Amino acid sequence: MNTPQHTVSALQQDPNFELAFRIQQPQPVQPKALLVLLHGVGSSELSLSDLAAGIDPHTLVVLPRGPLALGPNQCAWFRVAFTANGPQIVEREAEQARHTLIRFITQLQTQHHIAPEHTVVAGFSQGGIMSASVALSAPERVAGFGILSGRILPELAPFVADGARLQHLQALVAHGALDGTLPVTWAERSEQWLKQLGVTQTNLRYPIGHSISAAMQADFLGWVQPVLKGG
């Protein structure tokens, strides 16, 4: 999914922020909500710029760049190897990225005077993984999170907040039934875990592989708008 670069700002490397980022244009002067979109491994922030098409113009949409450079315009939140035994992550990097994103979102909320109840974090593949990691470990920072063709890291278990702190969260788990990179069983595991935690969730399947289809994008927009409004 690629959108012409004129729909997002130039890459901002503000020394006050730990991550470089772009902002969906036109940027609202007085934003009422915040949507943070996280890209997958081996991609960049530009890969999700069109996911925000149709978002309420009063929403500030921020696309941060993963801190690890794998190549030109190829970034990641943490390194991962896909093995016969499933994905093997560099746990230290995933933990560092989780803390960095929590601080990043908090800074954005403070700078733009946006409340957590009007904040959503979502992403594709590894970006969806990080969205779940942020929301489930620091639920006070967001109203909801979206996992698009992603999963919840089993390694997150020690850091997941207790059920009482998670009750307000809204989760979206959207996955391709034909996904060969992260098989749909990962979505099923995520859904079962969220059910055990008592998190309200919307679960969607598509006849696609490891990607975001037009239908998934439309469903994401339909889900995220009321969550951003606090509804």
Give all domains of the chain, ordered by start, each with its CATH number.
Answer: 5-228 (3.40.50.1820)
Q: Which residues contact 154 (CB under 8 A, 6 or more apart)?
A: none
β-pair partners for 74? 71
The beta-strand segments (E) located in the chain are 21-23, 33-38, 59-64, 68-71, 74-76, 80-83, 86-89, 119-124, 144-148, 170-176, 200-206
Residue found by looking up tokens 């702190």 in the block: 165
Tens-level pLDDT at each residue, the chain (231 residues): 443 344 899 999 999 999 999 999 999 999 999 999 999 999 999 999 889 887 999 999 999 999 999 999 999 999 988 787 778 889 999 999 999 999 999 999 999 999 999 999 999 999 999 999 999 999 999 999 999 999 999 999 999 999 999 999 999 999 999 999 999 999 999 999 999 999 999 999 999 999 999 999 999 999 999 999 986
Pairing of strands 119-124, 33-38: parallel
> Which pLDDT score, from 0 to 100, does residue 84 have?
78
- Alpha-carbon distance 132 to 168, whole Å? 14
